Structures are given as C-alpha cells and as structure tokens.
Structure 1
Amino acid sequence: MERQALYFTGPRQVARQTETLPSPVFGQVLVKTIISAISPGTELLVYRGLAPADLARDETITALAGDFSFPLKYGYAAVGQVLKLGRGVAPGWEGRLVFAFNPHESHFLAAPDELLGLPAGLTPEDAVFFPNMETAVTFLLDGQPLMGEQVAIFGQGIVGLLLTALLSRWPLSSLVTLDLYPRRRQLSEDLGAHLSLDPSAPDALARLAAGLQGGGTYPGADLCYEISGNPAALDQAIAATGFSGRVVIGSWYGLKRSDLNLGGRFHRSRVRLISSQVSSIAPELTGRWNKTRRYHATWQMLAQVQPARFITQRFPIGQAAQAYELLDRHPEDVIQVILTY
C-alpha cells in the first residue's frame, strides 16, 4: 500500500511524499493515523534548521532513529487505529485506538510494545497531547514543588499551559507565569495562575517579585521553570529565583546560545540549575518511578485536564507547509496545531 509522509527537506521547507509501505510482518501491526500534533518547540527548531544536525533524534524511540540532518521525517505525537495484524500479534489489537511516538505520516508499522492503547473514554484529541503532558509531569518530578512555595513559569506555550494546569492543583503560595502573547497569558490565568505577565515589559521582574512574594517573607521564587524556548529567558529566571531556589530548564535551545549573568547575585545565591528532559527519569527517582508509572500518571492528568480545548488550528497533511508557516510567523495566534489524515 501507499502512505503519505511529511519530510523536512531544508530550513523552512516541508514536503509531503508518497511512500510504499509493506504489509506487517511477524510481530507488527499496521496503524492508520487519525491525527498528529505539531510540537511548537522542538519541531520549529527542526523546521528553522536550528537543531544540531549530528545530534540523535531520540535514542529510545525506534521511529525516531537517526540524526537531525535534512531530509528527515520528524514528529512524535500520533493517534491512530490498528487496521491490520501481522502473525503472532494478539487479536485484541485489531481496531484498537493507539498513541505512538511517530512522525507525521498517514500509516505506519509498529510492534505492539511501541504503542500505547488509549484508555476508555479518552478521545484522540485529548490523547494526542500525551508527549506534552508527559513532559509537564516530568517537570513536576524534577522541580518537586512543595506546599506553600512561590513558583514562576517562563513560557506559556502548550507545555507551559499544561504545567500551569497541573501546578494550579498544588497548594502553592503563588503561581506567576510569563509569556509574550496576550492570548496565552489570559488562558494561563483561566487555568489557575494567580498572575500572568509580559516578560518584555520594563517592570516585568519587579512585578514578578511582587506577585510571587505577596504578603510573605521570602523574596523571589522558590522554584522557576524556564520553558519558553528563548535563551534570554533563562537569565530572567535566574534573576527571579530566591536564595537556594531551583531553576528547572526544560527548554531545548538547539543551536541558540544563552548569555547568562553569573557574576553578581548568582554567585552567592546557591541557586540550583536543573536540566529536565522527558527521555529519562531523574536517577534519584528511579527506585520508585519508571516510564510505565509516568505513563500512568500522564493518562490520569490528560483525563483531568482535557487538553483538546487547546487545539486552535487543524490542517490536512497536504497543507502542512501552511501549518508550519503559521507557527513560524504568527505564534501569537496559535496554541496547538494538529494535522489530520
């Protein structure tokens, strides 16, 4: 059979290509994609040619083998239905709705252990947010927010909004978010942020400090998340963090460099910078947490948050170039874009 697959062919260039797909062999299933989500962070780095070409895409996911050199297929949020079983696959897989960390393509082959069956009652539109929600769950595991803490989040793209939705359930003293775009800031407050600010405003850090501290005695943030994708935001996050606070860095900057002021207050502040990435679990947690447990928590949070409401645009795969151009040129108009098949 033939399938339609999306390729990144060069900086700001994508193309739909027709490929021949064989029948599933022993231990494989054929999946027809229903929808896939575009990552406005990682995929835009790839689209803009800002991902390090020699870096492995993901060493833990079969469908993402290889590096970031052009041309390449990329994407990791597909929901589909199992159409056909190869020999040796349990009959219960046929017709099942599944999630896969798979690039944007109309059909694909996979082993059952590379698929996640959708829980009963969860729609494909909610399930397609699985990677973003898993990332938000990982940020919680790495940041370890405590009761009564003052927390700031730099960046209210889709992962930032999901993190806000989760942290709004915590008994925090304050939760303040920052984003350049008014639409995201309003949605952030609707989700439970006590205040959402424009980080480009001249008084942003002063308003952030006041919003975090309120009537409390601790100045600054106990915990900051930098997930804006903007390297300049990391310096702001460090400046906003109080003595012995933590900064969780969830952004992937690709080839972009960050210029940090570490020669002043930071030198005596004992602030901890924590690298967070969803492909692994912090070693200190692995005695109790593994990917299966994190998957379970992610499904639970998807059912509670119901993020399908954050889908702002849908494009058929044949119009993928327009989808990426929109994300690239008008991010203020976008929360989440999905491709349909």
Structure 2
Amino acid sequence: MRAVQITRFGGPEVLDVVDIPEPEAGPGQQLYEVSTAGVNFADTHQIENSYLAEQRLPLVPGAEFVGTPAGGGQRVVGLLDGGGYAEKAVASPRLTWPVPDGVSGEQALSLVLQGTTAWHLLRTSAHLAEGESVVVIAGAGGVGSLAVQLARRWGAGRVIATASSPEKRKLAEDLGAHVTVDPALADEDPKAFTAALREANGGKPVDIVLEMTGGNVFAGSLSALAPFGRLVAYGMASRTETKAVPPGALMQRSRAVIGFWLAHCMARPEMLDAAMTDLLQQVADGHLHPVIGGRYPLSDVRQAHEDLLARRTTGKLVLDPAR
C-alpha cells in the first residue's frame, strides 16, 4: 500500500511516499480503508521527535482518519496511535465514531482531534462559565476556529482571538470573535501583548486563555489573567519552552495554569464519546461550522507540512491517500 513513512527525524523533507506492507490488525483492532487522513500541527512535532511522547523509527505519521472497515461497512472517523498517512490503517473500534449523513469526511476529521480538544479545553480544563471572557490563541487554526465558535455558543461574555494576518483575523471575527489581536506584539515584549489582550477586553484582565504557542505568548497571556483566571496550555508551536512559573506569581492573582493533552482522553474513551456526540450533532444541525483549510494529495504531504509551519493555512488540513 502507499503510505508516508519517515526513516529519520527532521522537517517536511523527511516525509517520503513509499510502498510498504499493509498493517495487520492485532487483538481488539480492525483494519480500515482510509478515504481521508487528517494533518495536525502535532504531526510536525512527531516527525521531529520533539513532542510529548518519544517516537521510534521507522514510522508512518497520522493520528486520525475517515474510512470504512476493510471489506465494507459504516463510514467512521477515528483516532490512531499513528499510521494515518496511508491507504490503510489499524485502529481500535472503541476509538471510532459513525459519521452521520450530511457530514463530510473533512468536517468529521476537524472534530475528532481538534474539535474534541477545543471541547475539553473549554468544558473540562477551563470550566467556562457564562459571561466569562475567553482568549483563543491562533483563533483561525484547526482548534482555535472551533474554540471561538464553541465559546460563543456556550455563553462567553467576550471572545478575543489572536491571528497572524488581517485575513485570519477577519475569519476569526466572522466565526464569532468579538475582537482580534495580532500575536506579533509578543515577539519582542510580552508586556505589549498583555496590554493588547486587556485592551481588547475593555481594559480588564481576562478570565480564560487557551494557549498553544509558548514563549512570550504564554508569558504575556499569563500576565493578562484576572483573579481566578485560567490559562490552559495545549501546545508549544514556537518550539520554545516556558520558564517555570513561580508559585508566588500564581498566588498573587489566584491564577491557574492547566495543561491539556488529548492522549489522556484516549485512555478514557467515554470522555471522547461525550465530545464527539455533541460535536457531530452540532455540525449535522448546522450550528458548528468547521473551517476546511485544504485537501492535499498524499504525494504532496511535504507541501502540507510546509504550509502549516509557515502559517499559510487556516482550519483543517487533510490528505487524500488515493492521489
């Protein structure tokens, strides 16, 4: 079968399209024909071996797919430990969900990892209360574009999104953000970013920040929090680790820093069931609108990663294994 495989760690240049044997299903697993594979920012960390879990070579990247059981059956969207960038993949049926009629493969893929992340960031980690202000870093991205919509639907008093270009800031506003901020303000001075977030919130500190960049953006976001504010860290796109936060800095404002990694929900599938049931229904009903950023042939996987790293994309990117 055709698949993307890496035999060395690095950037997009290590992604090779090759012919390899199809995977074999083990106990409690099912072989699936992949019709569409999802691309996530975490995949760019995986091929560098710079993410939270150590990777072993050779490997086929990809943590999500839409497809059908080998031999036929219901179309599903599912999560994987790896192997999604391929014509066939092995998954646990417990981590798959039927895709309703009227929901496209791209829409389903936008939900299974990025959508469930946005759902749990707001519900499980931040415990969003009606009327609270929410800052969504990278509000035009895969997670951010859904988090903006969910925060509005769930009663946030003010939604502030950051985005790196006028076009992306307009998209975030069209999705429901009350106001947008350029994250480049944090590049030289976190204090300038803090001031911009507070100004966007009417001069007041903010209640919640969903943060996936690290570095100066993390520092500026933390300083912008109100008493009892919560910063939920779920990424490190800048590849910059943030210095330890002194306990006194948290106590002075009764602030909280919370980490989130969806992998822990995979060990508790009922947490994913709750999110996916809600999200798929919202899309089917027309209440939630995933942003689809592009469908690339499997042979153009390097370009997909390059576009993602260069911040040229919005919303969800997917691969077509048939091309």
Give TM class, smaller chain. 0.7 to 0.9
**In structure 2, what is the Cα distance between the partners aligned to 1:263 and 1:112?**
43
| Alignment partner of 1:293 out of 271, 274, 286 | 274
SS of 1:331's partner is coil
| Alignment partner of 1:100 out of 78, 101, 106 | 78
Q: Percent identity?
A: 22
Change (3 A) 1:247 1:8: same
Amino acid at match of 1:337: L
Change (3 A) 1:319 1:260: same
Shift in Å, 1:34? 1.1
SS of 1:189's partner is helix
| Alignment partner of 1:207 out of 171, 189, 196 | 196
Check if 1:74 corresponds to 2:61. Answer: yes
TM-score when scaled to structure 2?
0.83
Match of 1:183 in 2: 167
TM-score when scaled to structure 1?
0.79
Change (3 A) 1:192 1:27: closer
Check if 1:6 corresponds to 2:7. Answer: no
Check if 1:50 corresponds to 2:60. Answer: no
SS of 1:17's partner is strand
Equivalent residues of 1:174, 1:213 under 8 A apart: no
Amino acid at match of 2:4: L
Equivalent residues of 1:246, 1:271 under 8 A apart: yes
Which deviations, in whole Å up to 9, do the C-alpha atoms of 1:256-307 show, x marking residues without a partner?
41136759865511101111222335xxxx9xx7433233123224433131
Equivalent residues of 2:23, 2:89 under 8 A apart: no
| Alignment partner of 1:326 out of 307, 318, 322 | 307
Unaligned stretches of 5+ residues in structure 2 = none
**In structure 1, what is the Cα distance between the partners aligned to 2:46 and 2:90?**
24
Which deviations, in whole Å up to 9, do the C-alpha atoms of 1:140-159 show, x marking residues without a partner?
12111112212212222210
Change (3 A) 1:271 1:109: closer
Amino acid at match of 2:47: Y
SS of 1:155's partner is coil
Equivalent residues of 1:50, 1:256 under 8 A apart: no
**In structure 2, what is the Cα distance between the partners aligned to 1:14 and 1:250?**
25
| Alignment partner of 2:132 out of 149, 159, 168 | 149
Which deviations, in whole Å up to 9, do the C-alpha atoms of 1:106-125 show, x marking residues without a partner?
01344543432212332212
The root-mean-square deviation of aligned C-alpha atoms, in Å, is: 2.8
Match of 1:64 in 2: none
Amino acid at match of 1:305: L
Equivalent residues of 1:45, 1:254 under 8 A apart: no
Aligned length: 302
Amino acid at match of 1:125: E
Change (3 A) 1:254 1:73: farther
Check if 1:170 corresponds to 2:154. Answer: yes
Match of 1:21 in 2: 22
Equivalent residues of 1:177, 1:197 under 8 A apart: yes
Unaligned stretches of 5+ residues in structure 1 = 56-66, 85-93
SS of 1:299's partner is helix
**In structure 1, what is the Cα distance between the partners aligned to 2:235 and 2:91?**
29
Which deviations, in whole Å up to 9, do the C-alpha atoms of 1:226-263 show, x marking residues without a partner?
12x33321111111101221111122469641136759
Change (3 A) 1:221 1:26: closer
Which deviations, in whole Å up to 9, do the C-alpha atoms of 1:98-137 show, x marking residues without a partner?
1122321101344543432212332212111121101111
Amino acid at match of 2:107: D
